[in-house]
């Protein structure tokens, strides 16, 4: 039997017990914001470790993350399988830190046991090598999400920076059908406009923009989604994660583009989609970017790999959102913008949990 959204929230609150997913309303600036964050499910739908070392582990602890959707190398099927195997080994070596997210309830278990749930994801479908049966193989190894395309065209459809705007191919339709059947989240964060709309239309289950932003506030950027796509996604039950990467959100990150700009994108998405269909994401390591990135190792390579329309900028981050406490810093701003306790809980993680239940089971 399919749970209603209200029934799900009630069930999740009971299941997490000490996580305390419900709390009273608070006035602006109330210190209960900290307690709210500590009780909430906090899910970042595109993050990873620059290196899974002590510095990253410390960042995970500071972040208060319940879970992430991570990004794995998808160059070939062999590479993808090696990446999945590496995560199985990492979880075996660090069982008190990580939990593989194979179903929705794994996020609740992670919260209850003080671990971080990790959903294994690829930001392209190139690792399928043109064979839908490879989806089954990757699923058995723990994959639960992947993007249909990255920026360029592949066998599934066109990416966001491709010159053309073709939609899903026949093979792409087969891929979406197989993903629906197995219980894998369809993600079109980097997909072209028509591929995005086709995926929403043809998927039998709600899909995701795991890390994107609003084209109305960042006109012309290929990674932004237009209002029509945001609304179509919401109408089919999907969720859009607003990415916190500074140059995705606006010009001159940290100067003209601030944490307020990030909330402007959240505000716009909520206005178009409704509060039940918006979540949070970063698109960078848990530790952030500033602590390790340089023009030489971060900025200049991206000038080579991305088209000029990507408008890559340096520095690329918003200081208040770069450190592991980024989403703690976000709550007072959301509070000033009039978001209630329940709204914040949905943005932090409950909306993703609803999507995970409807897609993964």
Summarize the confidence of residues 203-229 as an average pLDDT: 98
CA distance 196 to 207: 10
Sort 83 into a burial class: Cβ within 10 Å, 0-12 / 13-18 / 19+: buried
Q: Which tokens in the block code for residue 320? A: 């208040």
| Contact predicate 344/334, CB 8 Å | yes
Identify the CATH homologous superfamily for domain 5-359. Metal-dependent hydrolases (3.20.20.140)
What does the pLDDT read at residue 13? 37
Summarize the confidence of residues 348-354 as an average pLDDT: 98
pLDDT at 19 over 80: no
What does the pLDDT read at residue 361? 78
CA distance 23 to 118: 26
What does the pLDDT read at residue 31? 57
| Contact predicate 148/187, CB 8 Å | yes
The predicted-structure confidence for 26-71, as pLDDT tens digits, reads as follows 344 445 999 999 999 999 999 999 999 999 999 999 999 999 999 9
Question: Which residue has better confidence, 25 or 127?
Answer: 127
Sort 145 into a burial class: Cβ within 10 Å, 0-12 / 13-18 / 19+: buried
20 dihedral zone (left: phi>0; alpha: psi -120 to 50; beta): left
């Amino acid at each position: 039997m399919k749970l209603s959204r209200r029934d799900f929230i009630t069930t999740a609150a009971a299941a997490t017990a000490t996580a305390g997913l419900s709390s009273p309303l608070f006035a602006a600036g109330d210190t209960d914001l900290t307690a709210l964050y500590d009780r909430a499910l906090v899910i970042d739908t595109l993050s990873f470790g620059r290196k899974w070392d002590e510095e990253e582990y410390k960042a995970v602890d500071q972040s208060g993350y319940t879970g992430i959707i991570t990004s794995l190398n998808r160059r070939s099927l062999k590479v993808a399988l090696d990446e999945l195997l590496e995560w199985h080994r990492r979880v075996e070596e660090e069982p008190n830190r990580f939990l593989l997210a194979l179903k929705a309830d794994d996020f609740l278990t992670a919260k209850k046991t003080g671990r971080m749930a990790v959903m294994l994801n690829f930001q392209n479908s190139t690792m399928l090598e043109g064979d839908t049966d490879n989806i089954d193989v990757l699923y058995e190894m723990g994959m639960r999400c992947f993007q249909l395309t990255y920026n360029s065209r592949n066998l599934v459809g066109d990416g966001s920076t491709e010159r053309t705007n073709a939609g899903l191919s026949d093979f792409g339709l087969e891929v979406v059908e197989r993903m629906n059947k197995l219980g894998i989240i369809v993600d079109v964060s980097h997909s072209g406009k028509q591929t995005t709309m086709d995926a929403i239309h043809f998927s039998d289950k709600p899909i995701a923009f795991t890390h994107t932003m609003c084209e109305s506030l960042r006109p012309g950027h290929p990674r932004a989604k237009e209002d029509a796509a945001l609304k179509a996604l919401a109408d089919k039950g999907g969720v859009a994660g607003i990415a916190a990467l500074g140059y995705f959100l606006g010009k001159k990150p940290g100067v003209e583009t601030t944490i307020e700009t990030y909330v402007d994108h959240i505000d716009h998405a909520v206005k178009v989609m409704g509060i039940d269909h918006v979540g949070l994401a970063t698109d960078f390591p848990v530790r952030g970017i500033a602590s390790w990135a340089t023009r030489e190792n971060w900025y200049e390579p991206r000038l080579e790999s991305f088209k000029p329309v990507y408008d890559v900028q340096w520095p690329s981050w918003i200081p208040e959102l770069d450190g592991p406490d980024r989403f703690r810093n976000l709550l007072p701003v959301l509070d000033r913008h009039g978001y209630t306790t329940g709204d914040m809980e949905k943005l932090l993680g409950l909306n993703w949990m609803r999507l995970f239940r409807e897609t993964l089971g």
